[in-house]
Amino acid sequence: MYWACNVSTCNQKRTALCFCSVSCWEVHLPGANHRESWAVEKRAPKTGGGGAEPVAASGGGVRRLVRAPSSAPAPAPVPREVLIVASRLKDYVRVRSGYNTSERVLEPLSDLVRRIIDQAIENARRDGRMTVLDRDLPPS
């Protein structure tokens, strides 16, 4: 008998997380940042006679809702600092148009970058990856 996390990113071939007990599964939760999750009770696959390879386990398990401990730390706040290198932006605008650039452009431009990156993060999450790739960015 073992426990698995119900969240699909924890059950991919690459990660395939399994836990010896519900308390071990609860230790996994603070770092995993799952919105809603539970531990699924599963049984280890049976082996054939004479040292044969294990038989594939059936995907079914008993679904038991186990809440995360209330002492789980809150997620860290998202930093709101400027994401744009001012000197590079000003140089680009000056070379491209001969115009100057106000410092007040940096904050709204950083907000635009955050929105684009948030969308790319969602695209990577939907594909089951932990890395944001160029293909996750929306078309320009």
Percent residues over pLDDT 70 in the chain:
76
Measured CA to CA, the distance from residue 57 to residue 34 in angstroms comes to 25
Measured CA to CA, the distance from residue 23 to residue 88 in angstroms comes to 50
Asked if residue 113 lies in contact with residue 83, where contact means CB atoms within 8 angstroms, the answer is: yes
74 by Cβ neighbours in 10 Å (0-12 / 13-18 / 19+) ranks as exposed
112: pLDDT strictly greater than 80: yes
Q: How does pLDDT run across 54-79, given as a tens digit for each residue? A: 333 344 445 555 555 555 566 778 77
Measured CA to CA, the distance from residue 31 to residue 76 in angstroms comes to 11
pLDDT of 38 reads 76
Measured CA to CA, the distance from residue 19 to residue 10 in angstroms comes to 11
Measured CA to CA, the distance from residue 22 to residue 39 in angstroms comes to 7
